[in-house]
Chain A
C-alpha cells in the first residue's frame, strides 16, 4: 500500500509490546494515524498511556512489534539499525524535555552534530549551523557552552539543532517541561512560527496549555487512540 502524497506519517496497526519478566505490557495497540505535511499535532495522555512509545516509534528510535509505518512514503518499520540512523539524521528533528545538549562544547558544535553525521564539510557545517542559531535569535551565543545558557536559550539551541538538517518532521517531547511559564510561551512561539513556515510538528505533552497551540489533538489512553480532533481555528499566540 502506498500512502497519498500529502501524508508524511502513516501508520497501520502499529503495536508495541514490552516483555517484563513473565508479564507482557501492551504499550501501544493497533494504532492507525495519518499526519499530513504542515500539520501541528499535540499528542496527549497520562503517563503510561503510550505517548512516549508512539513518539519513539515515529522518531525511528524504536521498532514496532507489529504493524506498518510509512514516513514520507518510505516504509521504515522494516529498516535496520544503520538505515534508521540515516532516517533520524535526515527526516527527523528531536526536541527533548531536558534539552539534551552535549555539555563542555559550544552551542555551535551542538547544532553542528546532525550535519557532522550527515557528512557535511566543516566549512559548510559552520555556516549552516550559524544560520540555524541566528534563526532562533542566538547569533551572539554561538560560542557559549550549555552551562552558560539559560533554560530557554538551551531549548532554543536544541530547536536550532532539530531544524538544521531540514527534517520532514520535528518531534518535541515535553519541550517546555523544564521551563517556567513565560519561557514556555517563548519557546512555543518559536514552534508555532516553525509550523507557519511549513514544518510538520508533533508535540508530546500532558499540559493542556501547551496542547492549545496545536491544530490537532490526539489523545492516548492505555495504548489506544482515545480521541483525534482538529481545531477549526488556527493557532493563537
Chain B
C-alpha cells in the first residue's frame, strides 16, 4: 500500500474525529510541548548568560584585575573591607609584568577612568560622561565595535596623542548634524580630535558604553591623572577557558611577587572572571536538562500506550477491512506497513501540535517574563523524530495483530 495514501487516509480519520484524536494524542502533545519549551528557555538563557550578561561585564574567557573586587559577595566582614581599602594601586608596571610573564594571553589591555561633568564642541554639550584612558587592545578585548572611523592605536597610546573615540549617545548629542569623525571635542581645557564612534550598546545592561569617551592612556595620564602610573583595571583575555584558568594562577603569582606578599598574606588585589557567573548558570542548566528527558519520556510513554490502545481498537473495528485487503492480495507486510504508517502519522500529528504549542509557550515566556526563550532547530528535529519513533513503536503490536489475522475469519467478522 502506498505510504502517502495511507498517511492521507490517517490524516482524514484524525480530522474526522478531532476531539478523540486530541485526547489520543494528549500524551505526545504534552511531552513534545515540554521538550520544545524547556529547551527554548534553557537555550535562550544560555545565550543570554554567555553572550550578553557575562560577556558584557567581563568578556568571555577574560580575567579582570582591580585594586579591589568590584563585585564583592556582600558577606565580607569589616576586617576584610578595611584590609581591602589599604590595597595598593595597580600600576602600568603591574600590567606589563603580567604581559611579560603570563603564557597564553590573547589580548591584554589596561585602563583607567574618571567622571567628566561635561564634554562639548561649539555650543553642543553632553553632561555626565565617563572618560576612559585605554591601551590599544582595549576596544577589541571588550568587543566594542567601532562603527565609524577607527579605534585607539598603539602609537596613540605610546605617544599620548589627543584623539578620542566617542560613544553613540555623545556623538548624537555633541554632533547632531554630520559625522563627528575629524571634528574636535573639548575635554576640560584640552581639545581632542574624534577619530571614531562606538556602535550603540543600548539594551538590558545599561548604556555606560554609549556615554563614554575613550582616549589613549598616554594622553589621559598626561592630561587628567594626578599619579601618572596608576591604572584602574587590567583585562586579560585568553582563547580558551582552560588557558584562562591556568593563566589566573600565574597572574596571582606575578602580582603577589611584585607586591612582596608573604605566603600567609591575603591577596592585596581583586581578580575576577566571568567563569563564576557561568559556573552558577551551568549548574542550573544541568539540573533543568537532566530533569527534561525524564519528564518528556514519561509523557511520551503514556502517549505511546494510549496510541497503542487506540490502534488495537482500530484493528478490531477494521477486522473486516483487513480481510478484504487480504482477499484482494495484500500481504502481511502490506497490512503491517499500513497500520505502522497510521500510528506514526497519528503520533507525528501529536508531535506537530506539540511543536506548535511549545513554540507558543516559549514565545509567551519570552514576552511576559524576563527569561529570554529561543526555540532551537535541533529540538524541533528531535521532536519530529520522537513523534515518528513513538508512533512506530506503539504501532508494532497492533500492526502485527492485524497482519496475522486469518483472511477467512476476518471476512466473516461482524
Closest to A86 in B: B329
Which interface class (under 10, 10 to 19, 20 to 34, 35 or more) fits B? Answer: 20 to 34
A144 CB-CB contact with B under 8 Å: no
A139 CB-CB contact with B under 8 Å: no
Closest to A53 in B: B408
B155 CB-CB contact with A under 8 Å: no
Closest to A114 in B: B328
Complex interface: chain B residues within 8 A of A81 (CB): 331-332
Number of A-B residue pairs, CB cutoff 8 Å, is 62
From B9, B16, B326, contact of A88 by CB (8 A): B326
Complex interface: chain A residues within 8 A of B321 (CB): 102
CA distance A122 to B330 in the complex (A): 17
Whether A117 pairs with B9 at a CB distance below 8 angstroms is: no
Complex interface: chain B residues within 8 A of A90 (CB): 329
From B1, B320, B408, contact of A117 by CB (8 A): B1
Q: A-side binding surface: helix, strand, loop or mixed?
A: helix
Proximity bits, A81-109, B CB within 8 Å = 1, else 0: 11001101110001010001010110000
A161 CB-CB contact with B under 8 Å: yes
Known pairs A104-B12, A105-B9; A88 contacts B328 (CB<8 A):
yes
Interface size on A, residues (CB 8 A): 25
Complex interface: chain B residues within 8 A of A59 (CB): 327
Complex interface: chain A residues within 8 A of B327 (CB): 59, 61, 88, 94, 100
Whether B411 pairs with A116 at a CB distance below 8 angstroms is: no
Complex interface: chain A residues within 8 A of B13 (CB): 104
B334 CB-CB contact with A under 8 Å: yes
Complex interface: chain A residues within 8 A of B331 (CB): 81-82, 85-86, 117
Within 8 A of A (CB), among B314-365: 320-321, 323-334
Known pairs A100-B320, A104-B12, A105-B9; A118 contacts B411 (CB<8 A):
no
Proximity bits, B397-411, A CB within 8 Å = 1, else 0: 000000000011001
A33 CB-CB contact with B under 8 Å: no
B2 CB-CB contact with A under 8 Å: yes
A62 CB-CB contact with B under 8 Å: yes
From B16, B328, B333, contact of A94 by CB (8 A): B328
CA distance A62 to B9 in the complex (A): 30
Proximity bits, B170-188, A CB within 8 Å = 1, else 0: 0000000000000000000
From A61, A82, A100, A113, contact of B408 by CB (8 A): A61
List 6 A-B residue pairs with CB atoms under 8 Å apart, sorted by A's residue number.
A61-B408, A82-B332, A100-B327, A100-B411, A102-B321, A105-B9
The 7 closest A-B CB pairs, nearest first, are A89-B329, A117-B329, A85-B331, A61-B407, A100-B324, A114-B328, A94-B327
A85-B329, A88-B327, A94-B327 known; 16 other A-B pairs, CB under 8 Å? A61-B326, A61-B411, A82-B332, A85-B331, A88-B326, A96-B324, A100-B320, A100-B324, A113-B325, A113-B328, A114-B328, A114-B329, A116-B5, A117-B330, A117-B334, A122-B2
A interface with B by C-beta (< 8 Å): 56, 59, 61-62, 81-82, 85-86, 88-90, 94, 96, 100, 102, 104-105, 113-114, 116-118, 122, 161, 165
